[in-house]
Structure 1
Amino acid sequence: MGSSELFLILLFSVFLITLISAKDLYFEATCVNNGNFTANSIYGTNLNLLFSQLSTTADFNYGFYNLSVGRSPDQVNAIGLCRGDQKEDVCRSCLNDSISELKQRCPKYKEAIGWSEFCTLHYSSQQLFGSMKSEPEQIFYNKYNASDVDGFNRALRPLLTNLRSRAAAGGPFLKYAADNTTGPTFLSVIYALEQCTPELSQKDCSDCLTTAMGKMDPYCTRSIGCRILQPSCNLRYETRPFFAVEGIPQPPPPLSLPSPPEGNGNGNRSNKTRIIIIVVVASVVGILSLVLCIWICLKLRKRREIIEKGDEMIKAESLQYDLATIRTATNNFSDENKLGEGGFGAVYKKLQK
């Protein structure tokens, strides 16, 4: 084996070792001075149990995790949030790396926050779920400034404002928005994303991101890249693409609930009154229709009886004879033709012709 081949093998080995041991260059941690704990304490045991649950949970839940272990005053609460464009395998790997980093950097702190490129992990003895927190924060900006600062900010500000509205309007599963816009020159493009923990209300998310945008000045107003990291939200922009735009499963849209009637409740009373009127009118119409049907049936029945009676009268009249015919048939009521007498008078027999 030649020296050149040995050099290539050594170089490749160093590359592999560097690749395997590489850490997230974007990772930042803040150890919050909110009390300490010892390794063998109940809080320490609960924290380790929480880390274990976070590492082994089977639910992806669009990259959002809310966990609590133990009871006050030793309860540990944690929120894990993966960047909205990351898939499950990257998300889990990022959270596990964050656990290892926080154990090393904040070993005795009851509260700590770790921000990675793809996820955020925050644990504390205080309640975190549903509580908007904009501090403590971490701010990083690119050392290179835009060539046209005013033009750069004219393009950037509307993009960030739009992303803030879109992220805040997200449902209870994901409050994330990412997009790009044309920069001050034809060939320049600005990429940006904003995200909140999804349990926040739309207003709290919007307020958190507004606070983050306010912290850009004076650090990021001239820079071509910036990261504002807060416990409940974060924003980032660059002049290069850094987020995925396809292949990420999106959560179902939020349910559209019917808008409540305006006013002080008169709308409800009006609706009830309208329903009552409709029911009463329908009942009256139904009763009148029934009465009309009965009346028509009775009229038809009476008419039929009259017609039938008329037929019988016609038949009876067809059996009567005029007086001249009777005189001739009875020989002028001769006693010889008399058969007897009944309740209607004498009865005669008819002469045979």
Structure 2
Amino acid sequence: MPSLLLSQQKRSAETMITVFKRILFLIFSFPVLTYLVTLTFAVDPFFQSRCVADTGNYTANSAYERDLNSLFNEISSTTKLNYGFFHSKFGEVNAIALCRGDVKLNDCTSCLNGTVSEMKQRCHRYKEAIGWSEFCMLRYSSRNISKRLEISPGACLLNTRSAVAGNPEEILRVLQVLLDYLRRVAAARGALLKYATGNSSLGAQIWYALVQCTPDLSEQDCNDCLEAATEGSGSCCVGQMGCRVLRPSCNLRFESAKFFDAAPAVPPPQSPQSTKEEDKQKKSVWIPLGASLSATLGLALFSACGFFIWRRRNIQEDNENSQEVQLLDLVQGSILDEHSSENFNRENVSRSQEFPSIQLDILHVATNYFCNENKLGEGGFGPVYKGTLADGKAIAVKRLSRTSGQGLLEFKNEVMLIAKLQHRNLVRLLGCCLEKNEKLLVYEFMPNRSLDVFLFDSSMAVELSWPKRFSIIKGISRGVMYLHEDSRLRIIHRDLKASNVLLDHEMNPKISDFGMARIFGGDQNQVNTNRVVGTYGYMAPEYAMEGLFSIKSDVFSFGVLLLEIISGKRNNGFHVSERGESLLTFAWKLWSKGQGMELMDQLLVQSCVAAEVLKCIHIGLLCVQEDPADRPSMSSVVVMLGSETITLPRPVEPAFSVGRVVAEPTEPTSNDRNRSINEVTISNLSPR
């Protein structure tokens, strides 16, 4: 019994010793376990690496290994990264490290340390390797990799969530437009930070994107790298909720949820001047009381003036924005055309299904920020630029100039009118934009520009044979007839002229610029206005002198245009004698003497049909009669042009001349060619 008791006591003691040992083990091993658990959870699930075999391997304890470890130590111990960018060389080893533009310094350092640890394990003994974590990138090589564009090796990392609902190709188009815009912004930044973020919406879904280059790249190299990455996203990212395209010199990422901060984390460095000012302030401890009071009062006065200026500018901007919002609401609330089926790529439509409102950033990218190389010309409204959308569609963007005589009223007028009109001889309005005080109209692009470019340039007029000119005349007449009689609205253009007739790729005419147009009521035949608008040389006499306009005002303008097309000469500035005779009276004299063919442009001698030319001169003279009642309607003009047997009434001599007595150069100036005077007061009129 005593031996049994002793045995039990011995076993109990051994058990206690074992338990005690286990407790000690747990106590001493807890920090290690904690570290291991932390390390396990700290592994970046986004980490990607590429070990490059082309440059060979290094051996243990070699000079290359020592240099590489020195670089790793420098990266791990650094406390100040220049805008998240690190590049250095130790012996044979070149290294580049880059943190994401919105990442704070501590997170950047932590990310680089983790990346160093991963690369030591994954690319052991490789002389060249690259690793990408979520917030940073690290690459090293035995060759020079600084300031060099490299797009391989690369990687594509997809969001693991299910594919997004919707049309993948449509989503990809939205993202490509956004990425193209960000690419230009990032590439254009300086040598410290090439980084940009933004978002774009498609329906209720908002997409967020980020692009970044190593800042040692040139603008062109950064642009090329991101362009290649964007093209790569088209093959590996389709239908995903998020995607990262990784390249040695750049990277991009997009997600359906926001994943970046609004602004870069690293503040811009202070200028040397501001640093000197701070040094002076530190040294200047004793400042006289009088000087302090003067400075305080001066600062208070300066602040008050600044606040007043800021407040005034704010009020002006609020008024402008309020006007724009009211205009957009009015435009979109008024355009309800069941015949309009124009759908300008759904991603561009923001507020209205009937009429697209196109985002400003899309137009910036399409026109390369309205660069001069894309400028097509300039009118009374403002400059017009060529643009190309992401899908390759060419557009023309009319930009309201701040110095233009036209404003919100004309902008609204053009949008409301032309959006309701559908005719093959009227230019199509694809959308408008009202953002950041910009007022933009987007049209279908006319590759041959306007009629005046060909008509009044002897080197280009040879391309306008008589059959083409006759076709253009008939097309314009059908377009004006549609405005007057066949459209849902009865519209007077009021600024019909050669520069407002655009030509498509087949030289078909399309009437444009409806900023001055007016709508007539069903029982209206004539209206009086105190504001005479239009272009010198095309205005009917009753409109120029009395402010009276009607559909017959457009008929007069058409008659002038018709005679210009036949003669290849402008009515405005036409001179054949010291008396400043107009094109209209000159045409009348030749026609009444039976010499009408002498009016014809000599370039048409080989291609003309004499009967058609004489008929068109006859119709032109009928259209420019002094009395509006003597002018034919546009429907009658269309019939006259299409008939070979109809008998035309005899016109009388035009009693109104817009010629000037003062001699001027025959050839128009460059300003006359490009600019339209859309609000004028007529003087020096010469009644006959």
Q: Which of 156, 159, 164 does residue 146 from structure 1 map onto?
A: 164
* Alpha-carbon distance, 1:178 to partner: 0.8
* Alpha-carbon distance, 1:141 to partner: 2.1
CA displacement 1:236-283 (0-9 Å, x = unmatched) = 1010111111572343699xxxxxxxxxxxxxxxxxxxxxxxxxxxxx
Distance across 2 between alignment mates of 1:218 and 1:56? 39
Aligned residues: 236
Distance across 1 between alignment mates of 2:154 and 2:172? 22
Mapped pair 1:133 → 2:150:
yes
Q: Which of 154, 165, 174 does residue 155 from structure 1 map onto?
A: 174
* Alpha-carbon distance, 1:38 to partner: 1.0
Q: Which of 107, 112, 117 does residue 95 from structure 1 map onto?
A: 112
Structure 1 length as normaliser, TM-score? 0.63
Q: Which amino acid aligns with 1:179?
A: G
Which portions of structure 1, spanning 4 or more consecutive aligned residues, are displaced by more than 6 angstroms?
Answer: 13-17
Mapped pair 1:182 → 2:201:
yes
Distance across 1 between alignment mates of 2:150 and 2:65? 24
Distance across 1 between alignment mates of 2:123 and 2:46? 17
Match of 1:59?
80
* Alpha-carbon distance, 1:17 to partner: 6.6
Distance across 1 between alignment mates of 2:67 and 2:35? 37
CA displacement 1:145-173 (0-9 Å, x = unmatched) = 33222332232121101110111011111
* Alpha-carbon distance, 1:16 to partner: 9.4
Question: Aligned in 2, Cα 1:199/1:246: closer, same or farther, shift over 3 Å?
Answer: closer
Q: Which amino acid aligns with 1:181?
A: S
Match of 2:191?
172
- The answer as to whether partners of 2:244 and 2:251 remain within 8 angstroms in 1 is yes
Match of 1:267?
none
Tell me, what secondary structure is at the counterpart of 1:131? coil
Question: What 5-or-longer segments of structure 2 have no aligned partner?
Answer: 1-30, 272-688
Match of 2:213?
196
Structure with max Cα Rg: 1
Q: Which of 101, 106, 121 does residue 84 from structure 1 map onto?
A: 101
Mapped pair 1:24 → 2:41:
no
Question: Aligned in 2, Cα 1:46/1:16: closer, same or farther, shift over 3 Å?
Answer: closer
- The answer as to whether partners of 1:174 and 1:251 remain within 8 angstroms in 2 is no
CA displacement 1:52-84 (0-9 Å, x = unmatched) = 1112233321100001001xxxx1000000000
* Alpha-carbon distance, 1:222 to partner: 2.3
Distance across 2 between alignment mates of 1:66 and 1:20? 27
* Alpha-carbon distance, 1:180 to partner: 1.2
Q: Which amino acid aligns with 1:63?
A: G
- The answer as to whether partners of 2:103 and 2:264 remain within 8 angstroms in 1 is no
- The answer as to whether partners of 2:101 and 2:266 remain within 8 angstroms in 1 is no
Question: Aligned in 2, Cα 1:16/1:42: closer, same or farther, shift over 3 Å?
Answer: closer
Question: What 5-or-longer segments of structure 1 have no aligned partner?
Answer: 1-12, 255-353
Distance across 2 between alignment mates of 1:253 and 1:241? 30
Q: Which amino acid aligns with 1:168?
A: A
* Larger mean Cα displacement after TM superposition, 134-143 or 24-33: 134-143
* Alpha-carbon distance, 1:18 to partner: 4.4
Match of 1:215?
232
Q: Which amino acid aligns with 2:79?
A: A
- The answer as to whether partners of 1:173 and 1:251 remain within 8 angstroms in 2 is no
CA displacement 1:127-157 (0-9 Å, x = unmatched) = 0110111000001223533322233223212
* Alpha-carbon distance, 1:25 to partner: 0.5
Identity over aligned pairs, percent: 45
